[in-house]
Chain A
């Protein structure tokens, strides 16, 4: 066991921090507060990500044949952790580099890889993810959107909901039913400018452009736009979700927020013994989540099997986010209810989704009960 960064990992951290210092504008906190799906952040990401690529910091973990540098899971993770800590200036593009790209690498045709991976690497393409539906969120396999084959193409009918970034997206990683069995699902790489697609934004407390409804009315999708074999989409989804489940190191922004709230209390002379106690407990929860995530990344860097540690780390993140958000509400309510510290406001917007996005926290508890404790339950994953 070694709990210290290696010299190489330290160098990566320094390089990313230096890059962020140089390329984040002085009003970045104001931009980030608008949410990763906002016009402002999405627009910023289109300028920021190509610069990241120039420095070898966009997709270093991708294989060299796809424009990466075969870097380790640690390097990939360190970049993601520091990006999230700073408010995620990659905007929606973290989707691409973290899991949509790798999923296309695993299941895509040579043509799909050539086109989509090159676009993602250039850092100016926005994707959304057409998973959740009115009838299927956590129970993903209950989705009803259908893709019916007609000759060399499919006609898709149905609707998606809670789709982040849909209004900005050029492409959607779309799940649709192609058979009658529960898991007869296929995955499509759907261009969002296709006729029959209607996107309606949903106003929310989490930021502009984060939630949408997407209506699919007889949308034509070509056979060549299907990712993986017909009816084998569940395998693709599981592969993608495996990346996504611990994808966001949310505790990083949580820790930064906690330190900001404590600094505000100290400035106003209100950092009492009771407040210090509460702050320390929230800090401990963040550190626990961090260490558990590090364990998952370490396992991934060694190609180890997922043994339930991912679900435990994910749940620890949710608990840590809650502790920090509660601390802010308890001790610095003015930071929550005003625009005094936009970074704290940004954290609160994102923290409330921590236990919901990418599957409910209760799904993680199901998985821990099954995979760690062997309590034997019926749940699909």
Chain B
């Protein structure tokens, strides 16, 4: 048991952070939040970070470390599906969209080069064309589109590979949610230190301190569980990490908005860009009810 990052893992995380920092939006306020852009996506692909899971001396844990770090930054760019699924589907063409059903909004689908559609026990992998999708405008920081039809070139993956795709999708949700929660909590913590009411910073009120402290514990646990799930790459740990994250985010989202007050509801303030992505992840992969069922099957069948 050794729960420290190696020096190589630390370097990996700081390197991807440095790359993302170069893309901070100069007009994006203190956070410099960067909405999804094909340019940044192409840059991330070119950097090779998203292929880390296939590189020598690296694996899914390194991919999860990157996913968590990227999600915590003030930037919207697809990483989880590409980094975790590339070794299984043999395609590294971000953004990769992961759909759990037809006729539902899918993250990154409007720009997707690759689509993985989970259909019961199988997974269909193809290249979505414009007629397959309908883009949606909204406040969710993910570029969204509804998947209407299965791409014509879709290839069917079955058995163990399909199961691995579903499993890694859950690991991706857990790692991405952990990073998003970290970003939202950091933003909120900063805000309560600066915002003064009744002659003192909000940060001095114990009612606020305790709830944010509970959130800090949840975020920390989410990270550890997500990293362990990537390390183990098995059904039990994947369902467990995804369940804990989908449980934890409900409280954290509410607290972050509550303590940010009305400014947290505006589009000029970046909080929603973390919390609304989290809200989208709350129901992914069947939501916490499905994760709990999968975990129970692993433990008690």
Contact = CB atoms under 8 A, between A and B. Distances in A.
Contacts of B210: 362, 365-366, 369
Interface string A352-380: 00000000001011101100111111000
Nearest to B210: A365
B188 to A, nearest CB: 10
A262 interface: yes
A143 interface: no
A271 B243 contact: no
A287 B240 contact: yes
B262 interface: no
A298 B2 contact: yes
Contacts of A9: 1
A292 B1 contact: no
A24 interface: no
Contacts, number: 140
B292 A276 contact: yes
A4 B300 contact: no
A313 B193 CA distance: 25
Interface residues of A, number: 48
A266 interface: yes
A186 B2 CA distance: 38
Interface in A279-313: 279-281, 283-285, 287-289, 291-292, 294-295, 297-299, 302, 309, 312
A175 B206 CA distance: 29
A74 B216 CA distance: 25
A5 interface: yes
A262 B216 CA distance: 30
Contact of B292 (A280, A291, A298): A280
Given A3-B228, A284-B247, A292-B220, A373 B213 contact: yes
Contact of B227 (A1, A365, A369, A376): A1
A6 interface: yes
B225 interface: yes
B160 interface: no
Most buried by A among B61, B212, B243, B296: B296
A295 B292 contact: no
Interface string B282-294: 0000001101110
B203 A5 contact: no
Most buried by A among B193, B204, B210, B221: B221
A312 B217 contact: yes
A316 interface: yes
B106 interface: no
Interface stretch (B3-11, B42-50, B270-278): B3-11
Contact of A279 (B192, B289, B300): B300
Nearest to A5: B1
A280 B291 CA distance: 9
Contacts of A364: 213
A369 B212 contact: yes
Contacts of A1: 2-6, 9, 61, 227, 231
Contacts of A287: 225, 240, 244
Interface in B168-217: 189, 192-193, 203-204, 206, 208-210, 212-214, 216-217
Contacts of B203: 375-376
B216 A312 contact: yes
B56 interface: no
Contacts of B189: 373-375
Contacts of A294: 1, 3
A262 B300 CA distance: 8
A289 B1 CA distance: 16
A315 interface: yes
A291 B227 CA distance: 11
B295 interface: yes
B30 interface: no
A375 B209 contact: yes
A298 B1 contact: yes
A62 to B, nearest CB: 21
A315 B214 contact: yes
Nearest to B241: A284
A70 B189 CA distance: 42
B213 A369 contact: yes
A279 B5 CA distance: 32
Most buried by B among A284, A291, A292, A374: A284
Contacts of B225: 284, 287-288, 291
Given A279-B296, A312-B216, A6 B209 contact: no
Contact of B243 (A280, A299, A316, A369): A280
A298 B299 contact: no
A299 B220 CA distance: 15
A149 B299 CA distance: 61
A381 to B, nearest CB: 14
B232 interface: yes
Interface string A250-277: 0000000000001000100001010011
Interface of A: 1-6, 9, 74, 262, 266, 271, 273, 276-277, 279-281, 283-285, 287-289, 291-292, 294-295, 297-299, 302, 309, 312, 315-316, 319, 362, 364-366, 368-369, 372-377
24 contacts: A1-B3, A1-B227, A1-B231, A2-B1, A3-B228, A276-B292, A277-B292, A277-B293, A279-B296, A279-B299, A279-B300, A280-B292, A284-B240, A285-B244, A287-B225, A295-B3, A312-B217, A315-B217, A362-B210, A373-B189, A373-B213, A375-B193, A376-B203, A377-B206
Given A3-B227, A262-B299, A284-B243, 10 more contacts: A1-B3, A3-B3, A283-B240, A285-B244, A291-B228, A292-B221, A364-B213, A365-B209, A376-B203, A377-B209
